[in-house]
Amino acid sequence: MRSAPVHWMKDEMSVLLAVDGSESSAHAVAHLIADLGRWRERPAVHLLHVHPPIPVGRAGEFIGHDSLERYYREESLAQLAEAERLLAAAGVPYVRHIHVGSPAELIVRVAGELGCDRIVLGNGGRGALADAVLGSVAHRVLRLASCPVLLVK
């Protein structure tokens, strides 16, 4: 006789809030804050910024690893500042995450690693030209994510 599979429930719901410092990211943060009142239990909020890698090429010979890491961290903290201010003002606890790499792929990977139940991000980011050249991060996240994705304008 075979038993039915057991599905374990996580102790806590969690949301990955991916921001890039844009106006649409600020709207996504505000939307999430407003939406938290609708949840039966407040989810854990993971705040993520993904800095695209800088193609250093031969410049890497002159720029030390520590300097590059410091640059990524400082730039990411600047992009996270408004989201952190809004979350703190609303009394929403969060865990900050900073990564370097391909934004869409890392957003989806981090959400999976953290077991997030939803991804929230702004739709629009850095503009039409960047989307045309690089492809839309939001569009790629929608295609790659295995959990629900909320795009906020």
Domain architecture of the chain: domains with CATH: 14-152 (3.40.50.620)
Residue 106 to residue 49: CA distance in whole angstroms: 10
Residue 71 to residue 43: CA distance in whole angstroms: 31
Residues in the chain: 153
Provide the residue-wise pLDDT of the chain in tens; the chain has 153 residues.
443 444 444 568 999 999 999 999 999 999 999 999 888 889 999 999 999 988 766 655 667 778 889 999 999 999 999 999 999 999 999 999 999 999 999 999 999 999 999 999 998 755 555 555 445 899 899 999 999 999 998
C-alpha 116 chain-centroid distance:
11
Question: What is the pTM (predicted TM-score) of this model?
Answer: 0.84
